[in-house]
């Protein structure tokens, strides 16, 4: 991918250092649509919501937006009424600089919890930020939203809608959603497609279900998680207002882009050495399949066994057993990639265990469980649990 690939008609991007991060890296980003844009959003389900999330949830109801202002280095979470005031103030400065209505600005923050934003630094930097907006500013914006990320995470795709070529570019930050203090997941997507906000919201929700909502590193949901999708319509095709064949084409592209972004977050999971796909099949229903998948993905015993490349299927059965999903232990089949290791709840032993065990030496593999209870399936992406995870998270603040 070349930088040029991340131009999207009508969008400008910027990212600069405002001195919020102590290390002098970029920490203030701006994404701006030159025309008012349809917008859809998904926000954290954590009951403790950061101030910018609360402001964003309120503003997005209108379905129209024109810019997102993001700071890293400070989450503006657990900051009370002052936090809300601060989030609104920042968007008012950006609105004034851009000459647009403040209500068209969506704020987002990521970083340390419980510390007031350094407002003065941000106010002083807004003019420079707006000054540096450019169609080629994509990577600057990406850098500005990064915190513990080991690498920038971006994806793009194109398709045709009603005869016009449309483009979709996305960025995400987060290393496994595992650091509420610093590594919220933020994702911003922009497209020049023309899609009505209500339909756009349905599409984003559907895409998130198979991407951002299907990854887990350690089960924590941050106070700041936010996904925003802007569709400014500058490609010029007639507006999509309901799901049709063109809608399906866009949905498919959107889901794929989101899934790629989400997988890159898992890959960057703190201390992760393995990318593991957990596929549950034959559950009573989807809800049961989900419970089973999460029980496996969240079991520290299973995760450490992955890290140790130990084909310890007993731990997986044990996790299934307390997942709450309906199972008959003597009906469970288990596979590592294509290799069977458990049949009817019992280990196949010998050669089978050896073959399946080899799979765990790979960097990425799939664990498939067939419960033989019904037609429910669920696919979840997760990681192992390593020494590095403990190291990073034990010494994070000090």
The yes or no reply on residue 48 touching its own copies (CB under 8 A) is yes
The yes or no reply on residue 287 touching its own copies (CB under 8 A) is no
The yes or no reply on residue 49 touching its own copies (CB under 8 A) is yes
C-beta of 236 vs 314, nearer to its own copies: 314
C-beta of 248 vs 344, nearer to its own copies: 344
With contact defined as beta carbons under 8 Å apart, do 173 and 145 qualify?
yes
Among 39, 129, 298, 369, binds its own copies (CB under 8 A): 298
The yes or no reply on residue 305 touching its own copies (CB under 8 A) is yes
With contact defined as beta carbons under 8 Å apart, do 215 and 381 qualify?
yes
The yes or no reply on residue 321 touching its own copies (CB under 8 A) is yes
The yes or no reply on residue 267 touching its own copies (CB under 8 A) is no
In the 8-state DSSP scheme, what is residue 212? G
C-beta of 124 vs 310, nearer to its own copies: 310
With contact defined as beta carbons under 8 Å apart, do 325 and 295 qualify?
yes
CB of 178 to its own copies, least distance (A): 6
The yes or no reply on residue 330 touching its own copies (CB under 8 A) is yes
CB of 284 to its own copies, least distance (A): 13
Q: Which stretch binds its own copies (CB under 8 A): 14-22, 134-142, 143-151, 319-327?
A: 319-327
> Catalytic amino acids?
184
Q: Which stretch binds its own copies (CB under 8 A): 31-39, 93-101, 257-265, 298-306?
A: 298-306
The yes or no reply on residue 354 touching its own copies (CB under 8 A) is no
Q: How many CB atoms lie within 10 A of CB 310?
A: 12
The yes or no reply on residue 58 touching its own copies (CB under 8 A) is no
Q: How many CA atoms lie within 13 A of 52 on its CB side?
A: 33
Distances (CA, A) of 234 to 97, 177, 194, 237, 333: 23, 33, 7, 8, 51
CB of 32 to its own copies, least distance (A): 31
Residue 321 contacts by C-beta under 8 Å, 6 or more apart in sequence?
327, 329
Q: In what order do the strands lie in the sheet with 376-383?
A: 346-347, 339-343, 333-336, 364-370, 275-283, 376-383
- The alpha-helical segments, DSSP class H, found in the chain are 51-59, 80-98, 119-131, 138-145, 197-209, 245-267, 286-298, 300-307, 313-321, 350-359, 387-394
CB of 159 to its own copies, least distance (A): 35
The yes or no reply on residue 180 touching its own copies (CB under 8 A) is yes
Measured in degrees and rounded to the nearest 5, phi and psi for residue 382 equal -150, -170
Binding footprint of its own copies on the chain (CB under 8 A)? 45-49, 75, 77-80, 112-115, 178-181, 218-223, 298-301, 304-305, 307-310, 312-315, 317-322, 327, 329-330, 342, 344-347, 385-387, 389-391, 393-398
């Amino acid at each position: 991918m070349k930088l040029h690939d991340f131009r999207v008609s009508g969008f400008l991007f910027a990212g600069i250092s405002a001195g919020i991060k102590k290390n002098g890296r970029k920490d203030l980003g701006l994404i701006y649509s030159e025309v008012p844009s349809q917008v859809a959003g998904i926000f954290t389900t954590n009951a403790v919501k950061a101030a910018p999330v609360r402001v964003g949830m309120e503003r997005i109801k209108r379905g129209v937006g024109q810019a997102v202002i993001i700071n890293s280095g400070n989450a503006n979470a657990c900051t009370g009424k002052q936090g809300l005031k601060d989030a609104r103030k920042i968007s008012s400065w950006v609105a004034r600089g851009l000459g647009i209505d403040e209500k068209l600005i969506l704020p987002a923050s990521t970083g340390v919890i419980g510390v007031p934003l350094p407002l003065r630094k941000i106010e002083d930097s807004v003019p420079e930020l707006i000054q540096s907006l450019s169609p080629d500013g994509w990577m600057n914006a990406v850098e500005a939203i990064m915190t513990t990320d080991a690498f920038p995470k971006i994806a793009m795709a194109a398709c045709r809608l009603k005869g016009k070529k449309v483009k979709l570019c996305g960025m995400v930050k987060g290393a496994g959603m595992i650091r509420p203090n610093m590594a919220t997941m933020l994702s911003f997507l922009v497209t020049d497609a023309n899609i009505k906000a209500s339909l756009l919201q349905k599409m984003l929700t559907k895409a998130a279900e198979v991407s951002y909502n299907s990854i887990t590193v350690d089960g924590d949901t941050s106070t700041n998680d936010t996904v925003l999708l802007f569709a400014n319509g500058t490609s010029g095709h007639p507006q999509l207002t309901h799901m049709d064949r063109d809608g399906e084409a866009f949905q498919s592209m959107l889901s794929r882009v989101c899934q790629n972004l989400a997988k890159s977050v898992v890959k960057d999971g703190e201390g992760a050495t393995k990318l593991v796909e957990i596929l549950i099949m034959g559950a009573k229903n989807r809800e049961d399949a989900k419970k089973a998948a999460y029980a496996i993905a969240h079991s520290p015993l299973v995760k450490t066994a992955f890290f140790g490349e130990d084909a310890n299927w007993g731990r997986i059965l044990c996790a299934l057993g307390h997942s709450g999903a309906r199972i008959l232990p003597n009906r469970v089949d288990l596979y590592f990639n294509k290799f069977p290791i458990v049949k009817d709840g019992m280990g196949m032993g010998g050669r089978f265990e050896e073959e399946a065990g080899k799979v765990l030496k790979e960097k990425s593999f799939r664990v498939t469980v067939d419960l033989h209870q019904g037609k429910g399936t669920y696919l979840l992406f997760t990681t192992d649990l390593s020494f590095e995870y403990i190291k990073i998270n034990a010494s994070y603040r000090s």
